[in-house]
Amino acid sequence: MSPSEDELRAALREGQDGGLDADAVIRHAHTARRARRVRFATTAGAVIVVAGIGAGAAALAHHDGSGPAPAAQPPGRASVATPAPGHAGVPAAGVRSADPSQCPVRPERLMLPGGGGTGQFGGDGPLFTATVNSLLACGYRGSGPVRAVQLTGDGAQSVADGLDAAVAVAPGGPRCSGPSAAGLVLRAPGQPDVVVTFSCAPDSNQATNGTAVRYDWHVPPSLLQLVAP
Amino acid sequence: MRDRAEKDAAFSTFVRANGATLLHAARLLTGDHHRAEDLVQAALTKLYLRWGRVDAPLAYTRRVLVTTHLDASRRRWGGERPSEVIPETAVDDGSGRADDRDELRRLLRDLEPRERAVIVLRYYCDLSEQDTATTLRIPLGTVKSTGSRALAKLRVQAGRT
């Protein structure tokens, strides 16, 4: 036998009988859909649980200080040190290098209120009289170039708060005397400049805007680097 | 709820109109009634889940049917292979033409899965070579060569009986 195409067609068609139960197919499809949804929900639930556990572990590690080291900051961005315990006014974020040409050529010499005596009237008033959203910090060190950073947002306000929180009365006891060659000018828009002059140690300083005065402010590392040798 | 009822009604109409053809095509492809039922059920389930988003339901179901079968055939490597020695011989009871058709369908099972798919689509579903190529997602030339090779095999095998 050598089949022609017609014979092949006839052979293939033979025996075609019976239909299908559409309702059974629909029931099967609904079951399949339910099973697929359950599978999807199970998978999604597992992913969420795993992600939650991962996030929790990461948060705990970060809280314990055993987490991974923070990624390097991009160039042109000043480093922001983690605040040491007891240090106030450390900017948390929003620090970037700034153009020193915006700074005064040298820090203005401001007279201390009442001639520098302790507890003078007005000396314990705020150094910054309004909210500080932006703060230009200019560092001076001898005849070296002026270095500047711009603080914004919470970082700027944090520095202002920390400075205002410093003591308004000169601490008693032995102090190193004699001004150092370092100085810092903090310039907030619309407010008088605050000039910080250092004595022999970074934490031995006085800050004034000509009206109020603060002593021995714990300078945040990101600003301290402006006056570092 | 009403949408679902309409969808089920339309789907039932489609199954009533095409179910027997699809089941027979699956039977020709698999050579086994139970596997054919499973294959059609799987294809129609996929169709039901996509109902309303498929432009040509019959063409879609045919494509799913054939590709699912070919995928399964690849996974069952060695399950069915063409053989020079035919293990079963037809018993000649003198019924002539009907036996020839049985013989042809038995020989069809000895073809490779893709050859069988081309024969079923071309000579049972009456698709053109181009439509067969589209359904199987293979080039037109491959359909032609596969089809002529399959026919040649059938003629050789049939000539021996």
What is the predicted pLDDT for the residue at B89?
42
B37 to chain A, closest Cα gap in Å: 9
Of A19, A34, A44, A42, residue with least CA distance to B45:
A34
Three-class SS of residue A97? strand
What is the predicted pLDDT for the residue at A36?
83
Per-residue model confidence as pLDDT tens digits over B91-133: 444 455 556 667 777 888 889 999 999 999 999 999 999 999 9
Interface contact A25-B15, CB threshold 8 A: yes
What is the predicted pLDDT for the residue at A85?
39
pLDDT over 80 at B58, yes or no = yes
| pTM of the complete model | 0.48
Closest in A5, A13, A19 to B16, CB measured: A19
pLDDT over 90 at B141, yes or no = yes
8 Å CB contact between A138 and A104: yes
B161: chain A residues, CB-CB within 8 Å: 1
Is the minimum CB–CB distance between B45 and chain A shorter than 8 Å? yes
Interface contact A18-B45, CB threshold 8 A: no
Mean pLDDT, consecutive 10-residue segments, chain A of 229 residues?
A: 75 78 85 85 89 87 59 42 41 73 82 60 79 89 84 87 84 67 87 86 83 86 81
8 Å CB contact between A58 and A67: yes
pLDDT-derived band at B76 (thresholds 50, 70, 90) equals: low
pLDDT-derived band at B39 (thresholds 50, 70, 90) equals: very high
pLDDT over 80 at B90, yes or no = no
Chain B from 96 to 125: CB within 8 A of any A CB: 98, 100-105, 108, 119-120, 123-124
Interface contact B15-A13, CB threshold 8 A: no
DSSP-assigned letters across all residues of A147-199: EEEEEEHHHHHHHHHHHHHSBSS---S----S--SEEEEEE-TTS--EEEEE-
Pick from B4, B13, B21, B24 the residue to mutate for testing the A interface (most A CBs within 10 Å): B24
Is the minimum CB–CB distance between B155 and chain A shorter than 8 Å? yes
Nearest residue of B to residue A20 by CA position? B19
Chain B from 74 to 93: CB within 8 A of any A CB: none
With b for 16 or more beta-carbon neighbours within 10 A and e for fewer, the B39-78 pattern comes to bbbbbbbbbbeebeeeeebeebbbbbbbebbbebbeeeee
Give the strands of the sheet with A147-152, arranged side by side. A95-97, A147-152, A134-141, A182-187, A194-198, A205-208, A213-215
Q: Which domains does chain B have, with CATH numbers?
A: 2-74+99-160 (1.20.140.160)
pLDDT over 70 at B12, yes or no = yes
What is the predicted pLDDT for the residue at B96?
54
Per-residue model confidence as pLDDT tens digits over A140-187: 887 777 889 999 888 888 888 888 888 887 777 666 666 677 789 999
How many CB atoms lie under 10 A from the CB of residue B94? Answer: 5
